Amino acid sequence: GAGVSQSPSNKVTEKGKDVELRCDPISGHTALYWYRQSLGQGLEFLIYFQGNSAPDKSGLPSDRFSAERTGGSVSTLTIQRTQQEDSAVYLCASSQGGGQGNGYTFGSGTRLTVV
Protein backbone atom coordinates (compact mmCIF):
# COMPACT_ATOMS: atom_id res chain seq x y z
CA GLY A 1 0.00 0.00 0.00
CA ALA A 2 0.90 3.65 -0.16
CA GLY A 3 1.44 3.99 3.56
CA VAL A 4 1.43 2.11 6.84
CA SER A 5 -2.10 1.14 7.80
CA GLN A 6 -3.19 0.42 11.36
CA SER A 7 -6.49 -0.91 12.61
CA PRO A 8 -8.60 -0.23 14.49
CA SER A 9 -7.97 3.49 14.79
CA ASN A 10 -9.68 3.51 18.18
CA LYS A 11 -10.34 0.71 20.63
CA VAL A 12 -12.10 0.84 23.97
CA THR A 13 -11.89 -2.31 26.04
CA GLU A 14 -12.72 -3.42 29.54
CA LYS A 15 -9.96 -4.12 32.02
CA GLY A 16 -8.95 -7.77 31.86
CA LYS A 17 -9.93 -8.32 28.23
CA ASP A 18 -7.46 -9.22 25.47
CA VAL A 19 -6.95 -6.94 22.47
CA GLU A 20 -5.30 -7.32 19.08
CA LEU A 21 -3.90 -4.43 17.12
CA ARG A 22 -3.04 -4.79 13.47
CA CYS A 23 -0.38 -3.18 11.29
CA ASP A 24 -0.04 -3.39 7.49
CA PRO A 25 3.41 -2.10 6.53
CA ILE A 26 4.45 -0.58 3.23
CA SER A 27 4.84 -3.29 0.61
CA GLY A 28 8.46 -4.40 0.34
CA HIS A 29 9.52 -2.99 3.70
CA THR A 30 11.40 -5.69 5.56
CA ALA A 31 11.56 -3.96 8.94
CA LEU A 32 8.55 -3.34 11.18
CA TYR A 33 8.43 -1.63 14.56
CA TRP A 34 5.90 -1.14 17.32
CA TYR A 35 5.95 1.80 19.71
CA ARG A 36 3.50 3.13 22.24
CA GLN A 37 2.91 6.69 23.33
CA SER A 38 1.13 7.55 26.54
CA LEU A 39 -0.62 10.91 26.80
CA GLY A 40 1.89 13.74 26.68
CA GLN A 41 4.87 11.39 26.59
CA GLY A 42 7.48 10.41 24.04
CA LEU A 43 7.55 7.18 22.05
CA GLU A 44 8.40 3.99 23.91
CA PHE A 45 9.98 1.23 21.81
CA LEU A 46 8.22 -2.13 22.11
CA ILE A 47 9.39 -4.60 19.46
CA TYR A 48 11.22 -4.73 16.12
CA PHE A 49 11.01 -7.27 13.29
CA GLN A 50 13.68 -7.48 10.59
CA GLY A 51 13.08 -9.95 7.79
CA ASN A 52 13.31 -13.54 9.00
CA SER A 53 15.49 -12.73 11.99
CA ALA A 54 14.30 -13.28 15.53
CA PRO A 55 12.44 -10.16 16.67
CA ASP A 56 13.97 -7.72 19.13
CA LYS A 57 11.49 -7.89 22.01
CA SER A 58 13.56 -5.90 24.45
CA GLY A 59 10.96 -3.15 24.82
CA LEU A 60 7.93 -5.24 25.69
CA PRO A 61 6.87 -4.10 29.19
CA SER A 62 5.52 -7.43 30.42
CA ASP A 63 4.65 -10.97 29.33
CA ARG A 64 1.09 -9.79 28.68
CA PHE A 65 2.44 -8.18 25.50
CA SER A 66 3.33 -10.20 22.41
CA ALA A 67 3.60 -9.60 18.71
CA GLU A 68 3.93 -11.63 15.59
CA ARG A 69 4.56 -10.92 11.97
CA THR A 70 3.14 -13.41 9.51
CA GLY A 71 4.67 -13.91 6.08
CA GLY A 72 7.01 -11.01 6.60
CA SER A 73 4.20 -8.53 6.13
CA VAL A 74 1.23 -7.92 8.45
CA SER A 75 1.92 -7.71 12.17
CA THR A 76 -0.38 -8.15 15.14
CA LEU A 77 0.34 -6.79 18.61
CA THR A 78 -1.60 -8.64 21.31
CA ILE A 79 -2.16 -7.40 24.83
CA GLN A 80 -3.61 -9.95 27.22
CA ARG A 81 -5.55 -9.13 30.38
CA THR A 82 -5.42 -5.42 29.66
CA GLN A 83 -4.79 -2.96 32.48
CA GLN A 84 -5.62 0.73 32.69
CA GLU A 85 -1.94 1.63 32.38
CA ASP A 86 -1.97 0.02 28.92
CA SER A 87 -4.07 2.95 27.67
CA ALA A 88 -1.98 4.72 25.02
CA VAL A 89 -1.58 5.25 21.31
CA TYR A 90 0.14 2.26 19.73
CA LEU A 91 2.18 3.24 16.68
CA CYS A 92 3.53 0.96 14.00
CA ALA A 93 6.28 1.91 11.54
CA SER A 94 8.07 0.18 8.70
CA SER A 95 11.29 0.78 6.81
CA GLN A 96 13.37 -0.80 4.10
CA GLY A 97 15.60 -2.18 6.82
CA GLY A 98 18.92 -3.85 6.21
CA GLY A 99 20.75 -1.45 8.48
CA GLN A 100 20.94 1.14 5.74
CA GLY A 101 19.51 3.92 7.85
CA ASN A 102 16.44 4.55 5.78
CA GLY A 103 13.72 6.56 7.39
CA TYR A 104 10.70 5.07 9.05
CA THR A 105 7.16 5.58 7.83
CA PHE A 106 4.67 5.60 10.67
CA GLY A 107 1.01 4.72 10.66
CA SER A 108 -1.60 6.89 12.31
CA GLY A 109 -1.76 4.67 15.35
CA THR A 110 -4.38 2.84 17.37
CA ARG A 111 -5.70 4.70 20.38
CA LEU A 112 -6.36 2.11 23.09
CA THR A 113 -8.48 3.01 26.08
CA VAL A 114 -8.86 0.50 28.91
CA VAL A 115 -11.82 1.24 31.17
Partner 1 sequence: DAKTTQPTSMDCAEGRAANLPCNHSTISGNEYVYWYRQIHSQGPQYIIHGLKNNETNEMASLIITEDRKSSTLILPHATLRDTAVYYCIVRYHNTDKLIFGTGTRLQVFP
**Contacts with partner 1, residue ranges (CB under 8 A):** 4, 31, 33, 35, 41-45, 48, 50, 56, 91, 93, 95, 97-109
Closer CB to partner 1, 80 or 108, in the complex: 108
How many beta carbons lie within 10 A of that of residue 1, not counting itself?
8
Tell me the closest approach of the beta carbon of residue 62 to partner 1, in angstroms: 19
**Residue with Cβ nearer partner 1 (72 or 80):** 72
